């Protein structure tokens, strides 16, 4: 590595985080710490029915008996669950505001600063947005238009009130509360998140999107998202996330459940840009997320696309359970780690039905002193005749103090299964940089171009509106400057 490259890497690692501001707004919080009273407080604040509170308390009692999963290649101090606020809402959110005129202008300004205007007319053309600020949902746009098609798109809190049958049937059906300690924790204290139901035969005409923001200090965010695509329906959903710069680590433990019935398709895209901590590794979000999709019906399809650039720690394995015959699961991932970030991410594809197919494309990019691990499990159960998996894991190292790791597990109980696995690890190539620069591109432009090229296979899976944003985000994660 020559001196010029090292210089550029140095500027990269002085990464600026442009969403690091704090909104000064009064918050309503319970006491710090986790106990039954905290859960009762949350349930009461959300005006939940008794069955929901019971559900939470049951999850809590499971959590108390569980230990954090330890398989990941991550290194962090023990989380003190009694030193966290489990609920934070801007004052005046006892009842969800009916329209934007009831929302504190400071909140609207926050989202404008983040580039997410809430006024419907300005919302990205054709994208309906649900916005979650700390623990509550602030606004859902385009609601009326979606209702005409029978599509339900609202906060999970609202769904518990208005659609208890769907919630009772599906909540926790893909990720049981007792799956592991983070799912139990989320089930006990989840505060808000989005709920989507697409009725039979309906193709959702616009991208649905949720934007998560952690604002309050020492607050955990535990959102819960549930998406159900009924027979023959289609939906594309995108989530984005940011948080202010803080010196302390903050915990984010979300659960996302997807259910695709016969012939239905769900496309779920994430652009995760939580605050990653500073260049010395101080602060940043601990992102422990459980995402799982169930291809319940025949010919159903679930596809996860993720661009992970933020968080001090990312622990995340969006998975597919391929139960229906001929169902398809896909996982496309770009994970970029810089400075002292750690990511342990990948997927789990469980083939149960006949002729089920899965595809995994993972691109890990490590810079600075970061550690980036792909961890994936592909399993074929006894009845999964003629099931297929294709896995491709590529790692790119920039500099010589970072690490890339690939941990694939394969488990097949059916000998008709076909498995293909490809993996590569490469260093950013000095000859490529030299070539680009000889054509007049700056060193930074060249790195950005090469990394974007490396990720292209994944980025092109994102919805058009966000592909450009994601590309910019990739460049920003590499550069010191903000475009």
Tell me, by CB under 8 A, how many residues bind other proteins. 25
Single residue of 29, 145, 432, 480 touching other proteins by CB under 8 A:
432
- Rounded to the nearest 10 degrees, the angle between the axes of helix 443-459 and helix 464-478 is 140
Contacts with 100 (C-beta within 8 Å, 6 or more apart), sequence order: 108, 118, 119, 139
For 159-191, b where at least 16 C-beta lie within 10 A, e where not — what string?
bbbebeebbeebbbebbebbbbbbbbbbbbbbb
173 binds other proteins (CB under 8 A): no
457 binds other proteins (CB under 8 A): yes
Single residue of 47, 82, 416, 442 touching other proteins by CB under 8 A:
442
Single residue of 2, 75, 101, 400 touching other proteins by CB under 8 A:
2
Single residue of 126, 435, 468, 481 touching other proteins by CB under 8 A:
435
455 binds other proteins (CB under 8 A): yes
Query: CA distances (Å), 392 to each of 71, 167, 306, 347, 363, in order?
Result: 22, 36, 15, 12, 8
4 binds other proteins (CB under 8 A): yes
Q: Judge whether 283 and 248 are in contact, CB under 8 Å.
A: yes
Q: Which two tokens stand for residue 128?
A: 């309906």
Cα 131 to the center of its chain, rounded Å: 15
436 binds other proteins (CB under 8 A): yes
Q: Judge whether 349 and 332 are in contact, CB under 8 Å.
A: no
Nearest to 400 by CA among 363, 442, 425, 366: 366
10 binds other proteins (CB under 8 A): no
429 binds other proteins (CB under 8 A): yes
131 or 447, CB closer to other proteins? 447
For 53-67, b where at least 16 C-beta lie within 10 A, e where not — what string?
bebbebbbebbeeee
Q: Cβ 481 to other proteins, closest distance in Å?
A: 16
441 binds other proteins (CB under 8 A): yes
132 binds other proteins (CB under 8 A): no
Q: Judge whether 250 and 285 are in contact, CB under 8 Å.
A: yes
Residues 381-400 that bind other proteins (CB under 8 A): none
Single residue of 165, 431, 464, 483 touching other proteins by CB under 8 A:
431
**What is residue 369's DSSP assignment?**
T
Residue the block writes with tokens 């990269």: 12
Q: Cβ 460 to other proteins, closest distance in Å?
A: 10
Single residue of 9, 89, 450, 470 touching other proteins by CB under 8 A:
450
The span from the CA of 133 to the CA of 79, in Å, is 23
Q: Cβ 452 to other proteins, closest distance in Å?
A: 7
Q: Judge whether 180 and 120 are in contact, CB under 8 Å.
A: no
Q: For other proteins, which stretch binds (CB under 8 A), given 35-43, 70-78, 411-419, 431-439?
A: 431-439
76 or 435, CB closer to other proteins? 435
Q: For other proteins, which stretch binds (CB under 8 A), given 36-44, 178-186, 239-247, 439-447?
A: 439-447
Single residue of 101, 121, 400, 438 touching other proteins by CB under 8 A:
438
Contacts with 431 (C-beta within 8 Å, 6 or more apart), sequence order: none
76 binds other proteins (CB under 8 A): no
- The number of CA neighbours under 13 Å toward the Cβ of 391 is 23
Q: Cβ 474 to other proteins, closest distance in Å?
A: 12
474 binds other proteins (CB under 8 A): no
Query: CA distances (Å), 234 to each of 40, 203, 307, in order?
Result: 37, 5, 22
422 binds other proteins (CB under 8 A): no
Q: Cβ 398 to other proteins, closest distance in Å?
A: 15
414 or 471, CB closer to other proteins? 471
11 binds other proteins (CB under 8 A): no
Q: Cβ 7 to other proteins, closest distance in Å?
A: 11
8 or 155, CB closer to other proteins? 8
Q: Backbone dihedral region of 249: left (phi > 0), alpha (psi from -120 to 50 degrees) or beta?
A: beta
Q: For other proteins, which stretch binds (CB under 8 A), given 10-18, 53-61, 407-415, 449-457?
A: 449-457
The span from the CA of 182 to the CA of 373, in Å, is 20
**What is residue 324's DSSP assignment?**
S
Q: For other proteins, which stretch binds (CB under 8 A), given 105-113, 142-150, 310-318, 455-463?
A: 455-463
Chain residues that interact with other proteins, rule: CB under 8 A: 2-4, 429, 431-432, 434-443, 445, 449-450, 452-457
């Amino acid at each position: 590595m020559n001196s010029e490259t090292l210089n550029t890497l140095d500027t990269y690692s002085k990464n600026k985080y442009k969403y690091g501001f704090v909104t000064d707004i009064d918050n309503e919080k319970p006491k710090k710490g986790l106990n039954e009273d905290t859960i009762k407080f949350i349930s009461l604040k959300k005006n939940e029915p008794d069955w929901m509170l019971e559900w939470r308390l049951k999850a809590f009692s499971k959590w108390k008996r569980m230990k954090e999963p330890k398989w990941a290649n991550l290194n962090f101090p023990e989380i003190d669950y009694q030193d966290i606020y489990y609920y934070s809402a801007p004052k005046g959110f006892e009842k969800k505001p009916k329209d934007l005129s009831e929302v504190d202008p400071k909140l609207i300004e926050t989202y404008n600063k983040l580039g997410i205007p809430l006024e419907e007319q300005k919302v990205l053309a054709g994208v309906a947005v649900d916005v979650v600020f700390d623990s509550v949902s602030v606004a859902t746009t385009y609601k009326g238009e979606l209702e005409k098609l029978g599509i339900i798109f609202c906060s999970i809190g609202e769904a518990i009130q208005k659609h208890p049958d769907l919630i009772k049937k599906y909540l926790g059906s893909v990720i049981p509360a007792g799956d592991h300690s983070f799912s139990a924790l989320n089930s006990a204290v989840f505060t808000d998140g989005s709920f989507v139901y697409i009725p039979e035969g309906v193709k959702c005409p616009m991208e649905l999107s949720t934007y998560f923001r952690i604002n309050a200090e020492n607050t955990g965010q535990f959102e819960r998202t549930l998406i159900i695509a009924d027979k023959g329906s289609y939906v594309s959903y995108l989530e984005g996330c940011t948080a202010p710069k803080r010196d302390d680590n903050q915990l984010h433990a979300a659960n996302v459940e997807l259910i695709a019935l016969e012939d239905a398709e769900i496309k779920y895209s994430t652009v995760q840009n939580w605050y990653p901590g500073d260049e010395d590794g101080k602060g940043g979000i601990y992102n422990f997320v459980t995402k799982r999709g169930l291809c319940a019906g025949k010919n159903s399809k679930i596809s996860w696309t993720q661009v992970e650039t933020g968080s001090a720690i990312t622990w995340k394995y969006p998975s597919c359970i391929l139960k229906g015959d001929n169902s398809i699961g896909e996982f496309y991932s770009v994970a970029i780690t810089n400075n002292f970030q750690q990511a342990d991410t990948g997927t789990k594809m469980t083939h149960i039905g006949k002729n089920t197919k899965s595809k995994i494309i993972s691109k890990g990019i490590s810079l600075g002193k970061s550690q980036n691990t792909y961890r994936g499990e592909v399993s074929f159960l006894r009845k999964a005749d003629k099931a297929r998996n294709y896995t491709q894991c590529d790692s790119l190292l920039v500099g010589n103090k970072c690490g890339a790791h690939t941990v694939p597990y394969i488990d097949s109980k059916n000998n008709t299964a076909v498995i293909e696995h490809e993996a590569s690890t490469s260093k950013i190539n000095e000859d490529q940089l030299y070539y680009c620069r000889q054509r007049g591109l700056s060193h930074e432009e060249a790195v950005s171009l090469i990394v974007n090229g490396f990720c292209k296979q994944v980025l092109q899976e994102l919805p058009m509106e966000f592909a450009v944003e994601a590309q910019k985000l990739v460049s920003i994660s590499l550069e010191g400057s903000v475009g």
